[in-house]
Chains A and B, each alone.
Chain A
């Protein structure tokens, strides 16, 4: 079936890593990025993060946008400060702060992420909200696109007629969203969900050998970063 072939996705080699460990590492890496002061240490930290980023399938257009944004940031920073090494350092720090969360989130299946948040004892309505956003965000995106297209089919090009945005885009979108919200609420109840009721967990998170191995590699990486920053 072509649709199945088109949409089949595969997660990276980081997928089996314990999501709680990934959440902890994301926070840790951002703290380290804020503490570092030397360019070589920052370069190694960002280098490691770029290796992790390579696990993701990034579209060429997205990559080009990213490179362009960073270049503009570096150039404007250098122009404002008049200090090229400082501008490069700031750009690397920006990368080190921005990259960890999306890299680790995008290499984690949504269901594993939800289980991690449940394991962290977050309230059930919060984890469910996240799950619903994850599930329905693409649907909302699709709705927006369909409404945009429906306008085009009526001969209205919204990109050239912003006056039509309210009646042509916002009104049908709000109607769709409200309808979805109502239907999802009902749908949840038909599936037995109650925010007040206790839920069981059929696949509790467990520490695995791969998690130990991952911890070892990360410790080595951060060890090198620490050596370059504080010892050398």
Chain B
């Protein structure tokens, strides 16, 4: 592209409506020879909301990193092509310089909040740009009002829910009215109210003329808002019709899943192969019972009566205690009051290690649960024979990375591996805390097939998820937490 102004200026003189122009962008990760992104061309006009979809590991986040300058500045790798905005060439700009024109919300919001208090957080970003104190006060107040955070302005960051933190970060990023907003899976951990609030915020920004580029797996959420959609496949970005945006539902994911590494495999067939079932229990046997469990400042949790083969979904807004209840069931927390019975035995006073013989727990953050040197060894840690470990990896579509280090996997792959390592221990009861986030429909299908097989073989599943598609697929018994 020729004729772009490469000067770095605070104000945009070019009145062009093209707020993002990606031209022939290619990127190769460090230590790899294959291109992660292949000659990507993409434009965004002011007031447009564009969605990027694609399988886990297809290069969506890499593209966002290239646009924001994080790649190759922080990740290393080789980038070619150009990135521009309103006639300016941004390719040589740093992340900070680009942040004047684009607000970037990363996957982990926690790492973009630096102070201890809501008001201070909004002010922090404005002080970084050396704005006069009077202007800072006015801009911060406007941002808090606009994002409905006035009541929380004296709160500490720790007091905020996941949705409120996201809203605060949006308020911070948008105080200086950048042209473009980039969001990486913003709906992942939000409850229904948080999703609704964020959708309203995005709609407002788009109406005000801001362009929004977002990566999302839960496509049904954004279908009504988005103007255009793209899909990344094998590093290539292709436009798709907005009407073709479909999230995971039993009908949308074919039984045949394409594994890019091992060829086409029938997911349902693989999942129906005999796994290693949990120890036999008679059908309809009560495996878990709770009575008036309570902990901390939460209202008493509803009593649970769960039989083998049951699938139970814990429902409720962010902060209502779903994770806390799972931690109580696993023994990680001891209840203040009440009783927990597993397989008819009172285990309220037992320690976690004892309870872990029958209860497996896959945590929200998979990084905490991966200890081995390789993916295969991670499964074998559970004293599983090599042949069985390979079968688990196949079931979870991880065979192609059996020799890789677990920490080198994508978040979605890590979650599947953590699930495999827990299920390989053959627990009677499996607890899952929001592990379905970050999975593309095909990967999610792999995961859900394994879980379905687990319950069909008599295992008990208790899980939390904000994704209605997951509930539709697993057909759980829902328990609401107020």
A residues neighboring B (CB under 8 Å):
1-9, 109-111, 131-132, 134-135, 138-139, 143, 146-147, 149-157, 167-168, 171-172, 175-176, 179-180, 182-194, 197-204
Contacts and interface: CB of A to CB of B under 8 A. Distances in A.
A156 B156 CA distance: 35
Interface in B105-134: 106, 108, 110-117, 120, 123-133
B138 to A, nearest CB: 10
Contact of B367 (A1, A139, A155, A179): A179
Given A149-B352, A182-B74, A192-B128, A155 B120 contact: no
A2 B297 contact: yes
A2 B296 contact: yes
A180 B136 contact: no
A157 B94 CA distance: 46
A8 B371 contact: no
A1 B371 contact: no
Contacts of A149: 332, 352, 368
B68 A190 contact: yes
B166 to A, nearest CB: 14
Contacts of A1: 161, 319
Contacts of B104: 190
Contacts of A202: 123, 126-127, 133, 136-137, 140
A109 B172 CA distance: 21
Contact of B95 (A3, A153, A189): A189
A52 B114 CA distance: 29
A171 B116 contact: no
Q: In terms of DSSP, what is the predominant structure of the interface of chain A?
A: helix
Contacts of A5: 297
A124 to B, nearest CB: 10
Nearest to A188: B114
Contacts of B132: 200
B452 interface: no
B330 A197 contact: no
Interface of B: 68, 70, 74, 94-96, 99-100, 104, 106, 108, 110-117, 120, 123-133, 136-137, 140, 155-161, 172-173, 296-299, 319-321, 330, 332, 351-353, 356-357, 360-361, 363, 365, 367-372, 381-382, 407, 421-422, 425
A111 B153 CA distance: 14
A3 B124 CA distance: 25
A150 to B, nearest CB: 4
Nearest to B366: A150
A167 B370 CA distance: 10
Query: When A and B form their complex, which 4 residue pairs have the shortest distance between CB atoms, in order from nearest?
Result: A192-B128, A183-B111, A189-B95, A152-B352
B371 A192 contact: no
Given A3-B161, A167-B372, A179-B367, 11 more contacts: A111-B115, A150-B363, A152-B356, A153-B360, A154-B371, A155-B356, A167-B371, A175-B367, A190-B99, A200-B133, A202-B136
Nearest to B369: A150
15 contacts: A2-B298, A2-B320, A4-B159, A110-B115, A135-B114, A135-B116, A154-B381, A155-B357, A175-B367, A183-B111, A184-B114, A188-B114, A191-B125, A192-B128, A203-B123
Nearest to A189: B95
A171 B353 contact: no
B127 A199 contact: yes
Contacts of A171: 371
Contact of B130 (A146, A176, A182, A200): A200
Contacts of A176: 367-368
A153 B361 contact: yes
A194 B372 CA distance: 38
Given A149-B352, A154-B381, A191 B128 contact: yes
Q: Which of B70, B128, B382 has the most CB of A within 10 A?
A: B128
Nearest to A151: B371
A139 B94 CA distance: 28
A46 to B, nearest CB: 31
B125 A192 contact: yes
Contacts of B113: 135, 187
Contacts of B159: 3-4, 7-8
B125 A172 contact: no
Contacts of B357: 155
A186 B109 CA distance: 12
A190 B128 contact: no
Given A185-B74, A190-B112, A200-B130, A6 B297 contact: yes
A24 B27 CA distance: 54
Given A168-B371, A180-B111, A146 B74 contact: no
Contacts of B173: 190-191
